[in-house]
Amino acid sequence: MQIYLSGEIHTDWRDQIVEGAKGLDVMFSGPVTDHAASDDCGVAILGPEDDKFWHDRKGAQMNAIRTRRGIEMADVVVVRFGEQYKQWNAAFDAGYAAALGKSLIILHGPDHQHPLKEIDAAALAVAETPHQVVQILRYVLEGTLPA
């Protein structure tokens, strides 16, 4: 099963899921999580821009080569919303995945419940911890529940 891990890049939630899912028949993908590289990839490769808008455009489109393929190949898309920042790209990924009919798992703390209600409503599971995501993957693949 192919899993795409979208969203927040400032904590180790991806590592926790990958570690916890060891032994399961899953393959993970996700965006480039090196924040500086992700912001600057466009101009670093294709040349500098004076205008920050186009600097960002070049980078965002280059990242889209990776992220769209990751979502399109995935069976399950997990989207994590952290405590900080706008995270509009995470919400965009969730909408993109929903329109493609992917199974969505949304991962966020209780504080974000109301503003995320439309996104949660498009999901097949809403989890609070990476550990729960691992348990879902284990159940979906092997039919076993936590003791």
Residues 91-130 that bind a second copy (CB under 8 A): 91-101, 103, 105, 112-127
22 counts as binding a second copy under rule CB under 8 A? no
Nearer to a second copy, 23 or 88 (CB): 88
68 counts as binding a second copy under rule CB under 8 A? yes
15 counts as binding a second copy under rule CB under 8 A? no
Nearer to a second copy, 11 or 33 (CB): 33
Nearer to a second copy, 15 or 118 (CB): 118
Nearer to a second copy, 18 or 32 (CB): 32
27 counts as binding a second copy under rule CB under 8 A? no
12 counts as binding a second copy under rule CB under 8 A? no
18 counts as binding a second copy under rule CB under 8 A? no
Q: How far apart are CA 29 and CA 2, in angstroms?
A: 8
Q: How far apart are CA 143 and CA 34, in angstroms?
A: 35
For residue 64, the minimal CB distance to a second copy (Å) is 6
DSSP states of the chain? -EEEEEE--SSSHHHHHHHHTTTSS-EEE-----HHHHHHHHHHHH---SSHHHHHHHHHHHHHHHHHHHHHH-SEEEEE--SSS--HHHHHHHHHHHHTT-EEEEE--GGGTTTTHHHHTT-SEEESSHHHHHHHHHHHHH-----
41 counts as binding a second copy under rule CB under 8 A? yes
